[in-house]
Chains A and B, each alone.
Chain A
Amino acid sequence: MKTTLAALKKGQKAIITGFNIDAIPLKLLEMGCLPGNEVQLLQVAPFGDPIYIDVNDSHVAIRKETAAAIDVELLNDTSE
């Protein structure tokens, strides 16, 4: 199922399929947030922002609006 990183539920895993390059900092790409890599949503702060993800073995916190610019394909995994 295609969706964005922002729409993931806690514990869900997905594969990154693409993103809006102007809305994402280069740094995030350099941390490994690239198409083809697996990403998992670990935690969500109160009010939904920021969110805490695991990508490329890096644990990173990013804003929800940044996450909304990343397209992912859900992996059929159990979520919490």
Chain B
Amino acid sequence: MAEHLKIALIGNPNTGKTSVFNQLTGLNQQVGNYPGITVERKTGSCKLPGNIKGDIIDLPGTYSLNASSIDENVVIELLLNKTDKDYPDVVVVVTDVENLKRNLLLFTQIKDLEIPTILAINMSDRMEKKGITLDIPYLESQLNTKIGLISSRKGSGIDRLKGLIVNYKELSTEPCLHASSIEPEYFDRLRKAFPNELLYKLWLLITQDANFGLSHTNELMGTASFTKTRSDLKRLQQKETIKRYQFINDVLKTGQAIDTSKAKGLRAKLDRVLTHKVFGYLIFVGILMLIFQSIFSWSSIPMDLIDEGFAWLSVYTQENMAPGKLTDLIAQGIVPGIGGVVIFIPQIAFLFLFISLLEESGYMSRVVFLMDRIMKRFGLSGKSVVPLISGTACAIPAIMAARNIENWRERLITILVTPFTTCSARLPVYTILISLIIPEKTVGGIFNLQGITLMALYLLGFLGAIVSAWILNKILDNKHKSFFVAEMPNYKLPLIKNVGLNVLEKTKAFIYGAGKIILALSIIIWFLGSHGPGENFENAESIVRGQQEKIIPEEHMEDAIASYQLENSYIGIMGKAIEPVIRPLGYDWKIGIAIVSSFAAREVFVGTLATIYNIGSSGENEATIKQRMEAEVDPASGEKVFNFATGISLLLFYAFAMQCISTLAITKKETNSWKWPLIQLFGMSTFAYLVSLIAYQLLK
């Protein structure tokens, strides 16, 4: 029977650690979450020599065990807790041959925890170009480890690495730096108090705030003789860092030789343009437009296909299964529900294709550099620009894109405000309302009033996002001072394999995460729309026929029945029940029903109105709906329902209301709690209500 070896991959960001992971595991990887937090937990399995199975965990990239973010905390929490199920038998530290000096800092720290450690030096394919030569045997002896020289890009050295992993027991666990040399007297006392623990481990426990749930933590913290001020601790950590670098510099002086005449240029040359005061921004805007285009128009073709496909499937099911409730549920609830999930895939795939390319190439860090100053004012990160712009196509992939924002607070604010941007699902509603209430006039020769109104709505969306970000920034706790240190890595050609796996993983995450919720909600909504209390609903057909037989021609009878049913279904009742609340906004109960229905997806608003106005099956024809809406008159006042005031009020409501269950579902998944989507729901809805109220009352 095959044994399972537990392996942990650790390393600085930008060392190609992900590529190494992909090389080792291929498609055998899963992404989950660490319990309670939103850091991704990436695991996979690989076959090692000797029929041994390796369980690999790809830990978040970190520069040192002194964690400065939640991700980095994950690393240290694992390595200090022998009882954790992921605690590794062997650690592979992935380093970049061009940045060995800095990368080795982490390596020496891990060595000091006395876990069997292998040093993997990646990007060996670049050694010659950069004039770097290494004395591997010397390095191995000085660092007390085995070295695997690999190129994850070319795929070389991986087999040898696997061999080293399997023979992990042969690795020495001698530490590189003896922690006590930092401050001998202090550490001596520690050693006497806790003779069974590693000194370095104790030191980490003292200096970190992380939650270890280990027995010693309380003892250590409580004992006055061991506590030091924050400032003192930092000084000691600085001392430790300096000592480590001294050690590393000594080792590399002999073990590494760099021919500095070899060009260092590409990164500097590219940066001169890409971070340029003017060109940098122009290029960035260009790229943003490209991303926007792709999500907006390129994905529309596959989206239309998916739409038609599921519509066809729905009809097919309805016609070919025996008539009955289950058939209805499948054809009208489940199939459209699944369709509603699948339709997001093209947009998600395109967006993440671009984001992967930007991250993998190293350009994303430059984006942060360019945008950070402006964004920080609003509590956002430089990286928030991509989600915000993508949100104008669809909020779902946009919210997922916020994952690459390291700071939790900035990420949260980004996720919460992105839905304010005008997403494409609102367009059908906007178009029809605008054509109803805004005259087709051209002002000043070139400005089309309708076009301007549309642009104004887009602008409103952006303003909504920025202003709410600003407000959230003031309200949300900012417990710790955030220091800004962002590495600008070398530019490199994105690896197709990495990009592909990333897109695949994000798509799967969406389908299984948000998808389940959306499907469940679709089923519930179907139920509410196709059932009603009492006889009105049950006997819809006979009632309608009885009343309207003489008046309505047979071909419209089905629509009339459908309309009556909708009115008397649970959704209909909800819509009518909220009428008193929405009357001040200028809406009647029919609009009320449409609003409740469009909770599933905003574009459903128009279709629902079509059903209510008895146009049902021919409702796809926009002209028909428009005519019908224009003609709709309020029985009480004799005035048009869709007048200017109501129209503006509705437009504003749609601009600001949080109405899309898919967005709520993805927010829940990305923030790992219901608290935030609910706050979004109530906050935005209340705001939308107030704005629409004021607008209507002022304009009527």
Contacts and interface: CB of A to CB of B under 8 A. Distances in A.
Q: Are A and B co-members of a single complex?
A: yes
A56 B105 CA distance: 12
A26 B275 contact: no
A58 B369 contact: no
Interface centre among A21, A30, A49 (most CB of B within 10 A): A30
Interface in A28-58: 28-32, 34, 42-43, 45-47, 49-50, 52, 56-58
A52 B271 contact: yes
18 contacts: A21-B231, A26-B238, A27-B64, A27-B483, A30-B63, A30-B102, A42-B268, A45-B370, A45-B373, A46-B373, A50-B373, A56-B102, A57-B99, A59-B487, A60-B485, A60-B486, A60-B487, A62-B486
B700 interface: no
A22 B231 contact: yes
Contact of A34 (B241, B268, B271, B483): B241
B486 A61 contact: yes
Contacts, number: 104
Contact of A31 (B102, B242, B272, B372): B102
B101 interface: yes
A12 interface: no
Interface string B259-280: 0000000011001100101000
A32 B369 contact: no
Most chain A beta carbons < 10 A, residue from B63, B231, B368: B63
The number of chain A residues touching the other chain, given as a range, is 20 to 34
Contacts of A49: 373
Q: Chain B contact residues: over half helix, strand or loop, or mixed?
A: helix
List the 3 closest pairs (A to B, CB-CB), nearest first.
A25-B483, A59-B488, A30-B64
A3 interface: no
B101 A50 contact: no
A28 B241 CA distance: 11
B241 A29 contact: yes
Nearest to B258: A57
Interface in B239-289: 241-242, 245, 267-268, 271-272, 275, 277
B372 A45 contact: yes
Given A26-B234, A46-B277, A57-B101, A31 B485 contact: yes
Interface residues of B, number: 36
A9 interface: no
Contacts of B234: 21-22, 26
A20 to B, nearest CB: 11
A64 B389 CA distance: 28
B72 to A, nearest CB: 9
B78 to A, nearest CB: 19
A62 B368 CA distance: 11
Contacts of B373: 45-47, 49-50
B573 to A, nearest CB: 57
A25 B489 CA distance: 19
B242 A34 contact: yes
Nearest to A47: B373
A29 B238 contact: yes
Contacts of A47: 373
Contacts of A60: 485-488
Contacts of A17: none
Given A29-B241, A31-B487, A57-B102, 9 more contacts: A25-B68, A26-B64, A28-B483, A28-B485, A34-B242, A45-B277, A52-B275, A57-B98, A66-B485
A42 B372 CA distance: 17
Contacts of B361: none
Nearest to B267: A59
B268 A61 contact: no
